[in-house]
């Protein structure tokens, strides 16, 4: 949940915690934590190590920041964005402390976010605003990398249309379906931003998909960020 929306008096579920969406809640449940109260007395670095061990994957260290934020909150602190804790985590690790010691065959599941990608708050939502010059999305695995960076408290991903390979707009490849389903699974909204008229021109099936998507609240095809702001205000 966006930290600005957290109400300590209404704390019932893991997703009521700051910076916790459904994906992070699932990770916590994997670690045996099912209620916010079970975070009291936990150690963020230990949770990260256990998560890496359980999943067999080297997770983004920003997960430590999320764990720090929710443990701190459960010990009485005000809700803060996860990146408030990044400096603390880096300082701790720079002293030679280890957050996790994964086996040598562990492989990172999350690539570094493009430096010009940025997280910002718009209309009360945390949004990952992706740059146009980032990694091209050619496969479902590329979307996994994007989602992996996005779910740390982010509610929506704004992705320039030019970041998508042309095969995304050719529905017979099923790439669009796979990627849209991934976002739905992680309960992340996706806004594809930019001019896609050349793809729409000769594809009635794509035209139908865009119409149906824009009628809902989860996947949008929009011309620019101003249109996204207008859409967010409508559903606020």
**Domain assignment of residue 144, yes or no:** yes
CATH code at 207? 3.30.750
Which segments of 75-172 does DSSP mark as H helices, in order? 86-94, 140-150
Task: Tell me: do 125 and 205 sit in the same domain.
Answer: yes
Secondary structure E strands in 13-163? 118-122, 125-129, 156-160
Q: Along the 236 residues of the chain, how does pLDDT read in single tens digits? A: 788 889 988 999 999 999 998 888 999 999 999 999 999 989 999 999 999 988 888 788 888 999 999 999 998 889 999 888 888 888 888 876 655 433 333 333 444 445 578 888 888 888 999 999 888 999 887 887 777 766 567 889 999 999 999 999 999 998 998 888 888 767 789 999 999 999 999 899 999 999 999 998 899 999 999 999 999 998 87
Task: Tell me: do 150 and 76 sit in the same domain.
Answer: no
The total number of structural domains that make up the chain: 2
Task: Tell me: do 128 and 225 sit in the same domain.
Answer: yes
């Amino acid at each position: 949940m966006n930290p600005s929306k957290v109400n300590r008096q209404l704390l019932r579920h893991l997703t009521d915690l700051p910076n916790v969406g459904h994906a992070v809640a699932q990770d916590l449940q994997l670690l045996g934590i099912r209620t916010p109260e079970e975070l009291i007395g936990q150690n963020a670095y230990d949770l990260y190590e256990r998560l890496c061990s359980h999943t067999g994957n080297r997770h983004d260290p920003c997960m430590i920041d999320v764990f720090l934020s929710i443990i701190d909150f459960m010990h009485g602190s005000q809700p803060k964005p996860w990146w408030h804790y990044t400096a603390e985590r880096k300082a701790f690790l720079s002293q030679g402390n280890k957050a996790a010691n994964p086996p040598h065959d562990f492989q990172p599941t999350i690539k570094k976010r493009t430096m010009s990608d940025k997280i910002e708050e718009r209309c009360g939502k945390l949004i990952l605003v992706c740059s146009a010059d980032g990694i091209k999305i050619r496969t479902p695995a590329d979307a996994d990398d994007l989602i992996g960076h996005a779910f740390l408290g982010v509610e929506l991903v704004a992705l320039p249309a030019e970041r998508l390979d042309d095969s995304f707009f050719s529905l017979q490849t099923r790439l669009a379906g796979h990627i849209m389903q991934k976002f739905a699974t992680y309960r992340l909204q996706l806004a594809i931003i930019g001019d896609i008229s050349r793809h729409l021109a000769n594809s009635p099936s794509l035209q139908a998909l865009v119409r149906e998507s824009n009628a809902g609240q989860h996947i949008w095809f929009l011309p620019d960020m101003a249109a996204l702001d207008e859409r967010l205000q409508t559903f606020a």
